[in-house]
Structure 1
Amino acid sequence: MTVLVLTRDADATADLVIAELNHRGVRVHRLDPGSFPQVAGLSAYIGPYDRRWAGSLKGQHQDTAFDRVTSVYYRRPSPFRFTDEMSEADARWAESEARAGFGVLTTLPCPWINHPHRNAVASVTPIALATAARCGLTVPKTLITNSPDDARDFVKALPDTVAAYKALGSRSPTEIDGQPHALWTTQVRPEDIDDSVTLTAHQFQEWVPKVFEVRLTVVGTQMFAARIRAGSEASRIDFRSDYDSLTYGPCVVPERVRDGVRKLMSEFGLRYSALDFLVNKHGHWYLVDVNPNGQWAFVPFLREPITQAIADLLERPTP
């Protein structure tokens, strides 16, 4: 058996799982798809009487036949990289061909955590929120629009006339020293909304006065909940902006929320997800984010149990 780990070279989260699998004596092949074709390689074949692709992955230090892969941990591969000698047009074509060709791996008939196609669907915010609501979870009032008038009317109708502005996608609109600069959640009022809203889609959400947040990490059938309390003004708006100020503690998840999360995982076909909830003074839980490939190692007391749970699923995969 071989556990295939698809991620970039610098991935401390994947390192934890790989170390645990190595400790158990499980064979691991770690490979960054972004290293194809300059370092990594693949050869795959299918014929008229075959039911699946046969072939192998060729890494810098080892090769693995497709039929030896018993599970896949899909984390955060880097983009494909090509030689500087290529023109921009040729590089775009090569990237498209590489993406399509390397897609042969997505046909591997084994359990994934998670299959990238399932991650892609669950990561689309409108789909995630609608599915969560359909599964019985409470989501904040949300408007997606490029109309400044509609956005102002939406915010005016909210309690205290304040909303949370959140990015819909994962990409950042700006860079600092060539690196993406995160776009944190911000508070907006009607007077903050101008005609720049017309330039693209924007998401405005009801501002939920939270007592604390919950990062609920789901691995298979297990749920690991951490209560997160903000220790700074920045982290009260978006805890990702100031991890150093956060304090963590265990948290009991209401059964209604657990039921909804189980349905959500089933709807998306996920084996792993990190979900963010806001909990108000009345104890109402509002789901604000579904992260099918979200981070989990930043919660100290859950780092080891989640590592072991993921390793369990990879070592003893079930269909």
Structure 2
Amino acid sequence: MTDPSGSVLVLTGHHDVTADLVLRILADRRVPVVRLDPGADLHAGATLTAAYRTGDQRGTLRTASRELDLTAVRSVWTRRPSPFQGPGELEEQDRRFAGSQSQWGVGGILASLPGAHYVNHPWSNRAAEYKPAQLATAQRSGFPVPSTVITNDPAEAREFIARQSTGVVYKPLWNTPYKVGGQARQVWVREVRAHEITAAVAACPHLFQATVEKAFDVRVTAVGNRLFAVRIDSPDLDWRRRQSLMECTPIDVPDRVARSVSSYLATCRLAFGAFDFAVTAAGDWYFLECNPNGQWAWQPAPVTDAIARALADRLQKGPEA
């Protein structure tokens, strides 16, 4: 394996145990790694400097234990960094200002390192998180896609539901934090009927999708052209709701699906993606979504280990990956 010089920069929170799986592999291979949570560490003593002039770009990151030349970074792994916020001791307005400047300054510096390989580039991650864009890209990539409507018109929603013989589910367009009585609540995928549609739909766009008469679900974790798939059998419509009840079994990915995954990643400029499918008894793999930064360490140990090693390989190779 090619072993270019330079460090791997990992952008994630301090308690990201999924990242630890990959970092241990890189440590065993003696690949230099710098771990940074830019939204937190730059308020706790770390410093970042970048300089630009005609024909030259330089930068330095200093942490309590490392000094990193930003022009010598081989790979950047954008895992789960904290949101950019200003220091907690500032007044609210000043804190918002500092947080915004950090997002556009620090975020811009770390997204523009010369020659670095990104898994994934943060701007590609953000663009690929929009569900309407996911559905449009899935269609162009050759995936079967369930009939879907996104609307804030209650009449359109009722009409769509009435046309679907298999039923309809509602999905949030974004995993927005939500509390009831001070307690955090999760909005799961659930069945919805026409009589449940009220004028409240007009408050914001809602995603309604024809129910796929599935035999099982599949999660495909893609690291470049290396695909790792598990069949998910669950008693729930949304298997994420009670993961203790689901069963995961490795499964092969059909060639036609693999080709569409490759096309999707290329279109979205992604090196990593977590794809969810609903598979029918006839063997049709319906695209549901692709999380460009999805979790993967919940899968059976052999699958999790294989994904960790594939990510380590890619980060170690850097621009040659």
Deviation of residue 175 (structure 1)?
A: 6.4
Unaligned runs of 5+ in 1: none
Residue number among 172, 186, 208 corresponding to 1:167 in the alignment: 172
Aligned to 2:157: 151
String of CA shifts for 1:73-130, please: whole Å, max 9, x gaps.
1101112343333221111111111111102111013111100111111111111110
Aligned to 2:130: 124
What is the aligned-residue RMSD (CA, Å)? 1.5
Deviation of residue 176 (structure 1)?
A: 7.3
String of CA shifts for 1:108-166, please: whole Å, max 9, x gaps.
13111100111111111111110110111111101000011110110110014x21100
Aligned to 1:101: 105
Distance verdict in 2 for CA 1:47–1:175, change over 3 Å: farther
String of CA shifts for 1:3-39, please: whole Å, max 9, x gaps.
0000011111111111111111111100001114312
Confirm or deny: 8 A CA contact 1:6 1:77 kept in the other structure: yes
Residue number among 7, 10, 14 corresponding to 1:5 in the alignment: 10
Aligned to 1:309: 310
Residue number among 14, 20, 33 corresponding to 1:15 in the alignment: 20
In 1, the alpha carbon distance for the partners of 2:87 and 2:127 equals: 32
In 2, the alpha carbon distance for the partners of 1:136 and 1:83 equals: 47
Percent of paired sites with the same residue:
39
Aligned to 1:45: 51
Deviation of residue 182 (structure 1)?
A: 2.3
- Which shows bigger deviation, 59-68 or 115-124? 59-68
String of CA shifts for 1:26-68, please: whole Å, max 9, x gaps.
1110000111431222011111332xx3111122321211022
Amino acid across the alignment from 1:122: A
In 1, the alpha carbon distance for the partners of 2:36 and 2:134 equals: 29
Aligned length: 311
Aligned to 2:254: 254
Amino acid across the alignment from 1:47: R
Partner secondary structure for residue 214 of structure 2:
coil
Distance verdict in 2 for CA 1:176–1:215, change over 3 Å: farther
Unaligned runs of 5+ in 2: 1-5
In 2, the alpha carbon distance for the partners of 1:101 and 1:141 equals: 41
Deviation of residue 177 (structure 1)?
A: 5.3
2:134 matches 1:133: no
In 2, the alpha carbon distance for the partners of 1:20 and 1:275 equals: 24
- Which shows bigger deviation, 168-177 or 20-29? 168-177
In 2, the alpha carbon distance for the partners of 1:176 and 1:257 equals: 44
TM-score (structure 2 length as normaliser): 0.93
Aligned to 1:92: 96
Moved over 3 A (4+): 81-85, 175-178
Partner secondary structure for residue 225 of structure 1:
strand
In 1, the alpha carbon distance for the partners of 2:38 and 2:88 equals: 18
TM-score (structure 1 length as normaliser): 0.94
